[in-house]
Structure 1
Amino acid sequence: MERNMNRGTEIIMQGAEVKGTLSTPEVLPIYLTTAFRGGADLDELNEYYAVKGYTYNRIRNPNRNALAELVSYLEGGEASMICSSGMGAITTTLLSLADAGDHILANSNLYGETLEILDVIKRYGIESTCVDFTDIEAVRKAVQANTKIVYTEVISNPTMAVVDVEAVARIAHDCGAKLVVDNTFTTSTVIKPIEFGADVTINSLTKFMNGHSDIVGGSATASKEVIDKACKLQALLGCTLDPFSSYLCERSLRTLDLRMERQLKNAEALAKALSEHPHVLKVNHPSLPAHPQHDIAKRLFAKGYGAMLSFEMPEDREKINAFMRRLHIAKYAMTLGGYATTLSYPILSSHASVPRDIRLKMGITDGLMRVSVGLEDAQDLIADFTQALSVFEE
């Protein structure tokens, strides 16, 4: 229909379609659209829906799919589900793998909100048991006849205990369960859990994967069969990642190994310096020979020991306050894995909801501080922490 229309109609019609020949762009465009147009009539629609293309943003989006492809390569899996948060990825994965009457065996030393979601899904008849996964015999004994999922992090938050993923995978598969491993603290730069027997790897894309502290997202990587089932539930739960955040994360992942190389080296240097400081009671980082799972980390990790560490100071609240105020480089933030070094106080953040007696059994004392090591110069970081710790001499 070729005729001039009224202003209200033209505002809708003008500039709505690309005109001219398009070559392939160097960078994938951002598809900020709610839906994708189908055929001109019912016959064309039948042809359109016969191919798994794009219809509605919550179901599929080119930016999200591109990110999933890249994450799948990095983690060494067949397919990936990209979610609007790490917790979205964890919850969707658990609910897609377990049914009422099933049992989840989980590491007792997990991110606080992961422990909370295990309590929440008990309402739906999915029971869970938590044990210390650094004790392989305890893991073996805790398996039940109805255990369908074994769940752990590679490095525990915030005590940096390392789990022998390979040994846990054997236990899980012997009882017919799937091993789900949270790889957030390590990333595929350090370890690919799937290569050691994990069935699913989880990442909070918010953290090191994106690395720029400007998105919230999550992923699960596994076989195509597992991910297809999870994605159907994800669409119903509505926890898919938006196109712009997907684009930002895909862009950031191009430099993952470069960023991690610097952060891994910085973390080792800072951990060593802190371990030699007279007012630091304990340092938790797998690079240190005194770390209880140092040998396991050496065997499993391809590069470095992770860019997260924690250290224990005397339990003097005023001195800890003074230490935090005196730091120039590292600032407090309830996140991790960005380009800047940040602090977190676990009893007020990740484990605020964990009862004190349980927290202390996990090794989370009132003097424990977690550090996410960034891209700054290592010597500057060491100097900053050293001068701030001098408050304990005053």
Structure 2
Amino acid sequence: MKNKGFTTRLVHADRLINSPESGAVHQPTTNSVLFEFKEAQDIVDVFQGKQAGHVYGRSSTGSNVALQNILNFLEGGVGAVTFATGMAAITATMLSLFKAGDHILVSHFLFGNTRSLIETMGALGIEVDFVDVTDVINVKSAFKENTKAVYLETIANPVTQVADLRAIGQLCEDRKALFLVDNTMTPANMFDAKSVLASLTIGSLTKYIAGHGNVLGGAVVDTGLFDWASFENILPLYRTADTSQWGLTQIKKRGLRDMGATLAPASAHAISVGLETLALRTEKTSENALRLATYLHGHEHVAAVYYPGLADHPQHFLAREYFNGYGGILSFDLTDGIDPIAFLNALDLVICATHLGDTRTLALPVAPTIYFECSEQQRKDMNISDNMIRMSIGIEDIDDLVADFEQAFAKF
């Protein structure tokens, strides 16, 4: 399927990559927790990694492996691991690969929940520094002898800062450090992680991948670009002949098996089905978001608009270089005197909810919700105002979205 279009490959991926039984076009949902072995030696070999197979539903099932195969196919990697949520994928990766005394650099603009996790890691003895990743110079100056990785998001949530991805990837390669890229906002049809030398992509499947607000999931994909033989934190038990699998094996064993955040088989199936329309949905949301951002940009009641597709966005040209479309996340500041809560209540079509990547357009007030646990100074440092509203743009007809804003603004 190499020469086929992106959506063509997605629509046929399950039946061609995974070859389900009985002519099914989707891998059936595997609901069994346990798996029988006719020969006792076989279960020993699977446990010891000498033979492929499923031993327990917490570690793997046919449904999960089928989804992992598709995700890996899309990224052009050497393997993938799925989890119950995106946060589970991040947590498992971090706690599987790093230990007390290690140093990691993370984006200063990390999403609130992820930032909270990173602070928890600091309490466990993993040294963390937050850096402005929009310029590689900031990252380079923060490197230390014990720096093991750089972790960032392609497009930050909610102020949409774009990381200096290619330059940071090259820096990590030169320093033999892991480059961990959260591409939740820019899935494979929008962004080629290997082109910026990403070691691992980590993200939420809940958002754009599944796309319909009906299932949770997360994943890690190994691009195959990092030399795990140079990474001293891999335990001797997982240093097998195939060095390309060392990182994923440790994440599977220490992160998935031991921590237990397993993606339910039914969820894996739902994500696979939602994945088929990924390109169609993201193309429409990107188109709608640019149109709406342009409309808001000139409105008298809007103080600022944050969207990478606008020419005056600080990283607009980076976004043009890296992404196929500018995505569906958009934020804006209302002018003083307009209460964000009152404005959201004035919208009829737009749904007030916390989520991203849905088919419906969603909005929420940023400061008192998803960044409520951050201090006022932290929010100021991330350019998050008290008047900011974050939006996840859906696939509705754009004229209907604009009309909803028109009638809401008319009330102020």
TM-score by length of 1: 0.89
- For the 8 Å contact 1:194–1:201, the answer to whether it is kept is no
The number of residues matched between the two structures is: 368
Residue 272 (structure 1) aligns with: 294
Residue 180 of structure 1 aligns to a residue whose secondary structure is strand
Q: Flag the 1:130–1:42 CA change in 2: closer, same or farther, 3 A.
A: closer
| 1:336 matches 2:356 | yes
Match for 2:328: what amino acid?
A
Residue 16 (structure 1) aligns with: none
| 1:37 matches 2:36 | yes
| 1:313 matches 2:334 | yes
Q: Flag the 1:315–1:77 CA change in 2: closer, same or farther, 3 A.
A: farther
- For the 8 Å contact 1:80–1:227, the answer to whether it is kept is yes
What is the CA–CA distance in structure 1 between the aligned matches of 2:296 and 2:351, rounded to whole Å?
17
1:1-394 mapped onto 2 (5 Å cutoff): 23-39=22-38, 42=40, 51-222=51-222, 223=224, 224-233=245-254, 234-301=256-323, 303-316=324-337, 319-392=339-412
What is the CA–CA distance in structure 2 between the aligned matches of 1:159 and 1:44, rounded to whole Å?
52
Alpha-carbon offset, residue 124 of structure 1: 2.7
What is the CA–CA distance in structure 2 between the aligned matches of 1:48 and 1:137, rounded to whole Å?
46
Deviation >4 Å, runs of 4+: 43-50
Q: Flag the 1:84–1:47 CA change in 2: closer, same or farther, 3 A.
A: closer
What is the CA–CA distance in structure 1 between the aligned matches of 2:298 and 2:189, rounded to whole Å?
28
Residue 334 of structure 1 aligns to a residue whose secondary structure is coil
What is the CA–CA distance in structure 1 between the aligned matches of 2:356 and 2:141, rounded to whole Å?
34
Residue 152 of structure 2 aligns to a residue whose secondary structure is strand
Q: Flag the 1:127–1:45 CA change in 2: closer, same or farther, 3 A.
A: closer
What is the CA–CA distance in structure 1 between the aligned matches of 2:370 and 2:74, rounded to whole Å?
27
Residue 5 (structure 1) aligns with: none
- For the 8 Å contact 2:340–2:389, the answer to whether it is kept is no
- For the 8 Å contact 1:217–1:241, the answer to whether it is kept is yes
Q: Flag the 1:334–1:45 CA change in 2: closer, same or farther, 3 A.
A: closer
Alpha-carbon offset, residue 331 of structure 1: 1.0
- For the 8 Å contact 1:326–1:388, the answer to whether it is kept is yes
What is the CA–CA distance in structure 2 between the aligned matches of 1:215 and 1:161, rounded to whole Å?
27
Match for 1:33: what amino acid?
S
Alpha-carbon offset, residue 52 of structure 1: 1.3
What is the CA–CA distance in structure 1 between the aligned matches of 2:167 and 2:367, rounded to whole Å?
30
What is the CA–CA distance in structure 1 between the aligned matches of 2:310 and 2:100, rounded to whole Å?
43
What is the CA–CA distance in structure 2 between the aligned matches of 1:47 and 1:170, rounded to whole Å?
39
- For the 8 Å contact 1:103–1:148, the answer to whether it is kept is yes
Residue 55 of structure 1 aligns to a residue whose secondary structure is coil
- For the 8 Å contact 1:76–1:195, the answer to whether it is kept is no
Q: Which structure has the larger Rg over C-alpha atoms? A: 1
Alpha-carbon offset, residue 206 of structure 1: 0.8
Residue 189 of structure 1 aligns to a residue whose secondary structure is coil
What is the CA–CA distance in structure 2 between the aligned matches of 1:123 and 1:326, rounded to whole Å?
43
- For the 8 Å contact 1:76–1:192, the answer to whether it is kept is no
Q: What whole-Å deviation, never above 9, does each CA across 1:33-65 have from its counterpart, x for those lacking one?
A: 1112221x6467568776311221111111111
Match for 1:174: what amino acid?
D
Q: Flag the 1:46–1:370 CA change in 2: closer, same or farther, 3 A.
A: closer
Higher mean C-alpha displacement, 219-228 vs 55-64: 219-228
What is the CA–CA distance in structure 2 between the aligned matches of 1:391 and 1:221, rounded to whole Å?
47
Match for 1:239: what amino acid?
A
Q: Flag the 1:42–1:298 CA change in 2: closer, same or farther, 3 A.
A: closer
RMSD (CA atoms): 1.7
Match for 1:335: what amino acid?
H
What is the CA–CA distance in structure 2 between the aligned matches of 1:372 and 1:252, rounded to whole Å?
17
What is the CA–CA distance in structure 2 between the aligned matches of 1:71 and 1:287, rounded to whole Å?
27
What is the CA–CA distance in structure 1 between the aligned matches of 2:42 and 2:310, rounded to whole Å?
63
What is the CA–CA distance in structure 1 between the aligned matches of 2:44 and 2:355, rounded to whole Å?
46
What is the CA–CA distance in structure 1 between the aligned matches of 2:201 and 2:44, rounded to whole Å?
36
Higher mean C-alpha displacement, 304-313 vs 120-129: 120-129
- For the 8 Å contact 1:97–1:148, the answer to whether it is kept is no
Alpha-carbon offset, residue 330 of structure 1: 0.8
What is the CA–CA distance in structure 1 between the aligned matches of 2:366 and 2:290, rounded to whole Å?
21
Higher mean C-alpha displacement, 94-103 vs 78-87: 94-103
Alpha-carbon offset, residue 202 of structure 1: 1.1
What is the CA–CA distance in structure 2 between the aligned matches of 1:135 and 1:196, rounded to whole Å?
14
Residue 10 (structure 2) aligns with: none
Structure 2: gaps of 5 or more residues: 1-20, 225-244
- For the 8 Å contact 2:344–2:364, the answer to whether it is kept is no
Match for 1:24: what amino acid?
G
Match for 1:81: what amino acid?
V
Structure 1: gaps of 5 or more residues: 1-21
Residue 280 of structure 2 aligns to a residue whose secondary structure is helix
